[in-house]
Structure 1
Amino acid sequence: MPDLMDTYVENRWMVQPNHANTLQTAHGGRVLKWMDEVGAMSGMRFSGESCVTAHINHVDFNRPILVGDLALIEAYVYSAGRTSVRVRLRAYREDPRTGDRELTTESYFVYVAIDEDHQPTPVPELTISSERAEQLREEAINGENGTSEH
């Protein structure tokens, strides 16, 4: 059974002018695309299957990501159903010179694992085997239920 920490995935993109809107910040749709891709990677790492997006919970765009910044997207599976996985996704604005980060966007996605015939297929049970994994799971559940601070 995969552990929550095994599902942690992060990726970075340097925000270029072609990723930006007229305000020279990353276009919200582009950030969502990146989040969706990293979330699917996390779901696939957990399930061992291809995963497709089934649901996107609220999306909070708190701060912009400027052209020249790095968009850092992190994801992890915090809950699993019979064929679905819940993934917490956060985007950060990162200074490429210093590594300083600031949370910009947060959401919770649901993916469905599919087999080679594109039919839903069962996923394993999620295990929590460390204090850090338990903390991440609790943060995700509280945030999804609207009890975390923004």
Structure 2
Amino acid sequence: MVDLMDTYIEDRNRVQPHHANNLGTAHGGNVLHWMDEVGAMSAMRFAGQSCVTAHIDSVDFQLPLELGDIALIEAYTYNSGRTSVRVRVRAHAEDPMTGDTEVTTESYFVFVAIDEDGHPVEVPELETSTAEGEQLREQALADEAQ
């Protein structure tokens, strides 16, 4: 079994001019790219295998990431099937001076664990051994159901 907290990953990218559109905000495709990468890292940490993106639920862009913001991407595995891994992924705008954050984008990704030949392989069971892990899992399941 793998603990949920072992799959929790954060990554940061500064929104630079080459990430931005003519409005001075990050292109949605760049944000989605960062989310997919961090989500895959979480899935691989859980599965102990390479993982490929199989499905992305609706992506809700709630606020823009402004030029100069830090794009803080967080992901964690909250559920699994036989070969699939469900990962909650959220992007936050982080102020580089204060560290204050605000959620800008969120989605749920499904990854499939694969072997060296690209065939699906079974994944372990997920456990939550901490109150924080259980809270994250319950929150993801509840929010996904909405």
TM norm structure 2: 0.99
Separation (CA, whole Å) in 2 of partners of 1:53 and 1:143: 21
Q: Report the equivalent of 1:30.
A: 30
Divergent runs of 4+, >4 A:
none
Separation (CA, whole Å) in 2 of partners of 1:2 and 1:27: 34
CA drift of 1:143 comes to 1.0
Separation (CA, whole Å) in 2 of partners of 1:41 and 1:85: 11
In structure 2, give the amino acid aligned to 1:117.
D
Separation (CA, whole Å) in 2 of partners of 1:27 and 1:142: 29
CA drift of 1:45 comes to 0.4
1:76 has 2:76 as partner: yes
Separation (CA, whole Å) in 1 of partners of 2:114 and 2:93: 32
Q: Report the equivalent of 1:141.
A: 141
In structure 2, give the amino acid aligned to 1:145.
A
Q: Report the equivalent of 2:91.
A: 91
Q: Report the equivalent of 2:119.
A: 119
CA drift of 1:58 comes to 1.0
Give the match's secondary structure for 2:57.
strand
Give the match's secondary structure for 2:132.
helix
Give the match's secondary structure for 1:58.
coil
Deviations 1:64-100 (A, max 9, x none): 0001010000000000100000000000000111101
In structure 2, give the amino acid aligned to 1:80.
S
Q: Report the equivalent of 1:63.
A: 63
Q: How many equivalent pairs are there?
A: 146
Separation (CA, whole Å) in 2 of partners of 1:84 and 1:93: 29
In structure 2, give the amino acid aligned to 1:141.
L
CA drift of 1:131 comes to 1.0
CA RMSD of aligned residues (A): 0.5
The answer for unaligned runs of 5 or more in structure 1 is: none
Deviations 1:102-139 (A, max 9, x none): 11000000000000001000000001111111100011
CA drift of 1:21 comes to 0.9
Q: Report the equivalent of 2:49.
A: 49
Q: Report the equivalent of 2:40.
A: 40
In structure 1, give the amino acid aligned to 2:52.
V
